[in-house]
Every structure is written in structure tokens, then in C-alpha cells.
Amino acid sequence: MNQIRQMPRMILLKKLKISPQRHRDFKPDFQKINFLMRKVKFSYTKHQIFSVSSVSLWLDDLFSGESRIACLLIITLLFLTLVAAAPSPVIQIVSQSVESHFPDDLTFTIQVRSDAGNITDAAIYYQVGWEKGERIGQIEPFAPAAETTLTHVWDTHGETVPPFVEITYYWQITDSAGNELVTEPERVEYADYTHDWQSRGNEQVIVYWYDKPDDFGAALFEAAAGGYDHVTAITGVTAERVARVVIYNNHTDFCAFYAPNSCQDWVGGQ
């Protein structure tokens, strides 16, 4: 911050692309900038992520007009220095993946490494579709080690889970030194590879079908998107997640994602 204070005024204005005609109006409040930098540093240190939108909201509370834009540029420049100097997290992700074996299971895998000790404990938290609550997944047994691969197999054979439902998940991992890593939430579809599915969609609605021509899917999407727009216009409510419409060609195929002995003859939708 002292480097910014000591920077000649015209050089600073030039770096921030502020015209000389208006430089007299630019009066950066370094006390406020320092306060913002502390918030940015705390956010990055805790979550290992820099949110431009969050900084923008903080700036709204403290600055206005050209000063707001200039101060955002100052903070961005300083943040780049912060990221370069920031130490890597003690527990690091080497790789992670999710494999769908619909309708039997969804397998989550993550490979992690600790620079301070052995990985000793882990859990995975996930939310299924529109469910409000989180589920906690049990990790497959593993031997504590500085680098290890963790796996959770969500067995869906005994429950009713429709294809292409969206899963939001994150990992919580601890090492023997007490360090903890909570990964950023990821989203994945529970993909069904038992049919040659086709899909069409936008940001609000996606339709899935198989063994039918493209114009069949186009008509489905037009009807689904029109219905979504109609309901939104009447209620003024928009969904937080994409609405997914999955079309089956017969009742036998439809019952494939149901728990054993739970799909009744009269059921035609879910």
C-alpha cells in the first residue's frame, strides 16, 4: 500500500487510464482501500478464491463514480501481487472426477496431497436435484498417507433417482496436523448411458429423448420452453435450477430408475 501512496500522482493516473482533465477529481481514500484489501486478503486466505462481484459490492458501500472504478483497478493490481505471494494451501487437490454407472451408482473420486502430514479423515457432502438438505457420503476405507485417493460410491440401486438429475457436491478433508480443506462446490449430472440420448435446451429448460427424430425433440423443447415462460409470466417466479424433462418410450424403460418393486403400472411421470 505504501508503494501506491508513494507513486507519483500522474503515473498512477496514467496506469489507471484516468484522463488528465479529470485527475483533480480523483482523490483515492487509501484508508478505505486498505480496509478493502484486508477483506480481500481474508476472503482469499480462507476460501482460496477471489470474487470480483464481492469486491464490487464492497466498493458500492464505500465509493461512487470514477473513484469506485479507479479503486477497483487499484485493488485488482494489488490482489495480483497478493496471489503471487500467497502460500499454496497445505492440502492440495491433485485430481478429482465423477463417474456415472446409472442406474446403479455414482462414484466420486479425489486425489489429494498434504505438505504437513497424512490425510486422515474425509467426507463428501452432496445435494440431489431440488432437495434442500445435504447428504453426507461415507468414504471408502483408506490408509492414512501424505498423498492418497479418496472414493465415495453413492449406491442408487435401492432408491429412486431419475437420470440427468443435477448433483451438487463438495469434499471436506483433514490431515494429521489438523489442517482442513473444503473444496469449492461442483455440479454434475447423473448421466444415463443405457440409451442413446439426445438433448436440447437453454438456461431454463432441457429436454432429453432417445430413438426419435430431431423434430420430435424440437417439438418437445418448444412445448417445454413455452410452458416455462408461461408459468414464469403468470407467477413472476423463476427456478433456481434448470428444469429437466426426460421422455421415455415405454413403461419398462421408465421404471428402470425406480427402486426395486416401487414402480407401479399406473405411474407415468415423476
39-88 per-position pLDDT tens digit: 555 444 444 444 444 545 544 555 555 555 555 555 555 555 554 555 67
- 266 found inside a domain: no
The answer on 95 and 78 residing in a single domain is no
Lowest mean pLDDT among 55-64, 183-192, 235-244: 55-64
Q: What is the DSSP letter of 94?
A: E
For residue 1, what pLDDT band results from cuts at 50, 70 and 90? Answer: very low
pTM higher than 0.85, yes or no? no
Q: What is the CATH number of the domain that holds 139?
A: 2.60.40.10
Q: How many domains, in total, are found in the chain?
A: 3
Q: Which of 59, 85, 111 is the last residue of a domain?
A: 85
Q: In the block, which residue shows the cell 434448470?
A: 242
270 in a structural domain: no
Q: Tell me: the pLDDT tens digits for 145-186?
A: 999 999 999 999 999 999 999 999 999 999 999 999 999 999
Task: Say if residue 185 is in the same domain as residue 201.
Answer: no
Where in the sequence is the domain holding 34, given as residue range(s)?
Answer: 2-85
Residues 76 and 104 both lie in one domain: no
Q: How far apart are CA 7 and CA 268, in angstroms?
A: 71
Contacts 24+ apart (CB under 8 A), 71-76: 71/28, 71/29, 71/32, 71/33, 71/36, 73/16, 74/4, 74/16, 74/28, 74/33, 75/33, 75/36, 75/37, 75/40, 76/52
Using pLDDT thresholds of 50, 70 and 90, give the confidence band for residue 89. Answer: confident
Assess if residue 263 is contained within a domain: no
Alpha-carbon dihedral angle through residues 200, 205, 210, 215, given to the nearest 10 degrees: -50
- One domain for residues 23 and 79: yes
Whole-number percent of the chain with pLDDT over 70: 67
Residue 179 lies in a domain: yes
N-to-C CA span, the chain: 58
Shared domain for 65 and 136, answered yes or no, is no
